[in-house]
Structure 1
């Protein structure tokens, strides 16, 4: 799995950081999502998929 965030789409809702805090965080200056682990361990894949599904801006791309 490889994860990227499109900052042009990100609306800083923070769903990703709440659902998968080991993989996502938010920048302090503007709240946009940052990827902490672009290729997370398999144990985190479910949380990452959930975060991508619940992103209101569809800014998270997940490549399996």
Structure 2
């Protein structure tokens, strides 16, 4: 599953630069995550880096976008191929 930033976000700016897939961006009111780019850091790190640095723990699993570990790995492979 991709991750989701809740409305508890305080716009502290620490999550965006941590995302290796450039999935996090400044939305109208809070930071948001593009589900098509979020792999929960699969392929890059053992744990989602945005969750690790978030001071208010407002980044949660997005139940609207369920994905298996294999699907996240395939998404990572696709994103890496697009970079080339």
Contiguous gaps of at least 5 residues in structure 2: 63-68, 70-84
Q: Whole-Å Cα distance in 2 between the matches of residues 24 and 54 of structure 1?
A: 13
Q: Whole-Å Cα distance in 1 between the matches of residues 37 and 17 of structure 2?
A: 18
* Bigger radius of gyration among the two: 2
Q: Which has the higher contact order (CA 8 A, sep 6+)?
A: 1
Q: Whole-Å Cα distance in 1 between the matches of residues 61 and 48 of structure 2?
A: 7
Query: What is the TM-score normalised by the length of structure 1?
Result: 0.67
Contiguous gaps of at least 5 residues in structure 1: none
- Dislocated runs of 4+, deviation >6 Å: none
Over aligned residue pairs, what C-alpha RMSD do you find?
2.8
Aligned length: 60
Higher strand residue share: 1
1:36 is aligned to: 34
Query: What is the TM-score normalised by the length of structure 2?
Result: 0.54
SS of the residue 2:15 aligns to? helix
1:4 is aligned to: 4
Q: Whole-Å Cα distance in 2 between the matches of residues 53 and 2 of structure 1?
A: 15
Instruction: Report if the CA contact (8 A) 1:23-1:40 is conserved.
Output: yes
